[in-house]
Amino acid sequence: MSARRVALVTGSNKGIGLAVVRSLCKQFDGDVFLTARDVGRGQAAVEGLKGEGLSALFHQLDINDPASVRTARDFFRTQYGGVDVLINNAGIAFKMADTTPFGTQAEVTLKTNFFATRDMCNEFLPIIKSGGRVVNVSSGMGSIALGRCSSELQARFRSNNITEEELVGLMESFVKKAQEGVHNQSGWPDTAYGVSKTGLTTLTRIQARKLTAERPGDGILCNACCPGWVRTDMAGPNATKSPDEGAITLVYLALLPPGAKEPHGQFVSEKKVQPW
């Protein structure tokens, strides 16, 4: 087993994820793993970085495939004794002009952005090493969606005692109501992507609470963040930031210095804690 430190970035063969790997290769003292669903694309991205004089490693990882997640978990546990930095970046979004029915968009978007990311966390959080850093890539759209929810829903999402089970129930309820076409009447907004990120930021708050309660001496920091509006396949060519600029807050949270106590369980944008 290697005593080296190790960082892992999900969905990192392109866009913000690739920019995060690039930045970590320059700043992180340890091995940096680029992961992707598609082995060919992932290895091509690693080769591209090599052309920039940067050395990343590759591991196949599809967060929607539980077997793939467990295989990766076992690899990192066996080879490194766990993970020092986990950046949950993998995510999807439908384009604004997409005509896919809203109920389908809700199901597909939450499947990856919330449920698969949660599964990933449930497998990997137990192997985060002491002093580890967990960064869940959320979005300012999650805050906007939260503001468009009914006051009852807002109160639950902001609650300091909401459980993971309750949150899962809320996310399942949104998908069901969206499929039935009654999500507005039930207090939900018209953004599947936004709701998926409301869920992810709330999940991060729950995870941080749990880490503090169950592993108080381990100094693990877990935060959600917004990269900003970034020129990627997902956000399109008109966005204001380059991927490297979008990576800045993610990398800042991943490299919070040893012994830091905060931020923890927060939603961070432009390296600043935002109100939730």
Please tell me the predicted confidence (pLDDT) of residue 101.
96
Query: What tens digit of pLDDT does each residue of 76-131 get?
Result: 999 999 999 999 999 999 988 899 999 999 999 999 999 999 999 999 999 999 99
The structure tokens listed for 221 are 């920091």
Q: Which residue has the tokens 């890539």?
A: 137
The residue written with tokens 């708050």 in the block is 205
User: By mean pLDDT, which of 9-23, 81-95, 238-252 is the weakest?
Assistant: 238-252
Residues 163-182, mean pLDDT to the nearest whole number: 98
pLDDT tens for each residue of 254-272: 999 999 999 999 999 999 9
Task: Name the residue among 161, 159, 158, 157 with its Cα closest to residue 174.
Answer: 157
Which is nearest to 157 in space by CA: 145, 140, 141? 145
163: left (phi over 0), alpha (psi -120 to 50) or beta: beta
Asked if the model's pLDDT at residue 237 lies above 80, the reply is no
Task: Indicate if the pLDDT at residue 43 is higher than 80.
Answer: yes
Task: Work out the burial of residue 238: count CB atoms within 10 Å of its CB; fewer than 13 is exposed, 13-18 middle, 19 or more buried.
Answer: exposed
The domains found in the chain, sorted by start residue, are: 6-274 (3.40.50.720)
Cα 55 from Cα 205, distance rounded (Å)? 33
Rg of the Cα atoms in the chain: 18
Q: What is the mean pLDDT of residues 127-147?
A: 97
Q: In the 8-state DSSP scheme, what is residue 38?
A: S
- Span 21-29, average pLDDT: 97
Percent of the chain residues past pLDDT 90, beyond the cut: 90
d(CA 13, CA 60): 11
The string of pLDDT tens digits covering residues 174-205 is: 999 999 999 999 999 999 999 999 999 999 99
Q: How confident is the model at residue 238 (pLDDT cuts 50, 70, 90)?
A: confident
Q: CA–CA separation, 232 vs 229, rounded Å? A: 9
**Taking the model in full, what pTM does it have?**
0.96
pLDDT at position 96 is: 83
Q: Which two three-digit tokens encode residue 98? A: 């997409």
